[in-house]
Structure 1
């Protein structure tokens, strides 16, 4: 049997000789049942296995594995030092050759045996798929956590917003009430101011009337009882008899008057013309029964204006509880001593 180039096919053992310089038919005359020569482009082990499994289909009468041929195992000294590079024929390829079929079986092998590609790919993807499952689980957990936090924040925000609205309403009501109260207070203050102005006007009018009445009384009432001295609107009586402080108080009461109470400097100066030289007179001044160091007038008012003499009051022998005037200056003295006294009353008509 010859191929398309006229060369015999099926020769099992073809001896390679160094004299054969024509390489155009070397590739086509190889035995397809022999192992394929080493090709630079066939490096995939799966493709090699597929090609080896496919070779018995080309050689039904021969076993799948053959002993090394002369082509695949040349004798020592017959192989040139440099193996010639593969050159395809000038006209075409013989696709009936097992080597050619093996050279172009990449696409066929991949399409014929898809499980050879799928199984290793599947094994390679199993660790990645586990990682994807773990990452997906983590993402789901993170998403649920974020959803929970978002829901909690939303609920808190809603609660706070409601409280803020309530507070704003309360503040608004308080502001309205404050404005209303402020208006009422302003009105009351205005009324009080008007009332104060009216009262001031009335007081001024009353003072003027009092002054006019006082002048009228002074013009009408120009006399004091017999034996009394007039000083302004008051009448003073200087006794001729000498009595104790208690008796002097009682005698003044009998004449509708009181022991004189000198509460200011003006009256103290006015009394000087009534005194005799070095005269001693009881006045309405006495120690507080509960506190001996406090002096009070007969009407219970505490002493503010004083005219004590030098080193007075000295509370001599712890018995000087009453006050006297020695022609002006004051002195403390025993209430049982008997001296003159001075009575005072308002001038009447």
Structure 2
């Protein structure tokens, strides 16, 4: 059976429309903001948990886009608060970026992304090593005690928590 010129033109129009819509939707999904898995407010701070695995830099960018920063832990109570948040969110286990690194420091000293001045640290024995430049909190991860920190390469892909006022 032969197609008429009108049928051919209609096929071209339909195919072109489908391709254009597919192209547009690929841009829309690439630009959609990250959505946290779980959010709660405690003591005047908002905490947003993201389970998409990101490098330290990419996680920091997501937080900044939402006018937040990677979570800072100033005392043992806040460390416990973060563990409780992970439990309430139903996280089975893993590593979570903290906003603590040597990346932001010109002296390569460990510093919080929000410049918090605290002496609290909860490193696992032997952590961090000299090669480590970013901190992560361990949660139901192997034989690690919950809430202890590990040093890591900032390129590792982890879950993360953003914090803001």
> TM-score normalized by structure 2?
0.64
In the alignment, the residues of structure 2 paired with residue 247 and residue 226 of structure 1 have an alpha-carbon distance, to the nearest angstrom, of: 17
In the alignment, the residues of structure 2 paired with residue 323 and residue 226 of structure 1 have an alpha-carbon distance, to the nearest angstrom, of: 21
Please tell me whether the aligned partners of residues 321 and 333 of structure 1 are also in contact (alpha carbons under 8 angstroms).
yes
User: Which residue does the alignment assign to 1:240?
Assistant: 51
Could you tell me how far 1:237 is from its partner in structure 2?
0.8
User: In structure 2, which of residues 14, 18, 40 is the aligned counterpart of residue 229 of structure 1?
Assistant: 40
**1:35-94 Cα deviation digits (max 9, x unpaired):** xxxxxxxxxxxxxxxxxxxxxxxxxxxxxxxxxxxxxxxxxxxxxxxxxxxxxxxxxxxx
**1:135-187 Cα deviation digits (max 9, x unpaired):** xxxxxxxxxxxxxxxxxxxxxxxxxxxxxxxxxxxxxxxxxxxxxxxxxxxxx
In the alignment, the residues of structure 1 paired with residue 65 and residue 126 of structure 2 have an alpha-carbon distance, to the nearest angstrom, of: 35
Asked whether 1:333 is paired with 2:152, we answer yes
**1:107-138 Cα deviation digits (max 9, x unpaired):** xxxxxxxxxxxxxxxxxxxxxxxxxxxxxxxx
Please tell me whether the aligned partners of residues 238 and 341 of structure 1 are also in contact (alpha carbons under 8 angstroms).
yes
**Structure 1, unaligned stretches of length 5 or more?**
1-224
> TM-score normalized by structure 1?
0.32
User: In structure 1, which of residues 254, 261, 265 is the aligned counterpart of residue 65 of structure 2?
Assistant: 254
Q: What aligned pairs does 1:154-193 form with structure 2 within 5 A after superposition? A: none
User: Which residue does the alignment assign to 1:205?
Assistant: none
User: More strand by proportion, 1 or 2?
Assistant: 2
Structure whose CA Rg is larger: 1
User: Which residue does the alignment assign to 2:126?
Assistant: 311
User: Which residue does the alignment assign to 1:272?
Assistant: 83
* Secondary structure of residue in 2 paired with 1:246: helix
Please tell me whether the aligned partners of residues 38 and 50 of structure 2 are also in contact (alpha carbons under 8 angstroms).
no
**Structure 2, unaligned stretches of length 5 or more?**
1-35, 140-146
In the alignment, the residues of structure 2 paired with residue 303 and residue 296 of structure 1 have an alpha-carbon distance, to the nearest angstrom, of: 9
Cα RMSD of the aligned pairs, angstroms, is: 2.1
In the alignment, the residues of structure 2 paired with residue 232 and residue 299 of structure 1 have an alpha-carbon distance, to the nearest angstrom, of: 17
In the alignment, the residues of structure 2 paired with residue 297 and residue 258 of structure 1 have an alpha-carbon distance, to the nearest angstrom, of: 10
In the alignment, the residues of structure 1 paired with residue 69 and residue 58 of structure 2 have an alpha-carbon distance, to the nearest angstrom, of: 12
In the alignment, the residues of structure 2 paired with residue 285 and residue 242 of structure 1 have an alpha-carbon distance, to the nearest angstrom, of: 17
Could you tell me how far 1:301 is from its partner in structure 2?
4.1
What count of residue pairs does the alignment treat as equivalent? Answer: 118
Could you tell me how far 1:252 is from its partner in structure 2?
0.4
In the alignment, the residues of structure 2 paired with residue 313 and residue 324 of structure 1 have an alpha-carbon distance, to the nearest angstrom, of: 10
User: In structure 2, which of residues 107, 130, 135 is the aligned counterpart of residue 291 of structure 1?
Assistant: 107
Could you tell me how far 1:344 is from its partner in structure 2?
1.0
User: More helix by proportion, 1 or 2?
Assistant: 1
Could you tell me how far 1:290 is from its partner in structure 2?
3.7
* Secondary structure of residue in 1 paired with 2:129: coil
Inter-CA distance 291–226: structure 2 relative to 1 (3 Å threshold): closer
Please tell me whether the aligned partners of residues 135 and 151 of structure 2 are also in contact (alpha carbons under 8 angstroms).
yes
Please tell me whether the aligned partners of residues 100 and 110 of structure 2 are also in contact (alpha carbons under 8 angstroms).
yes
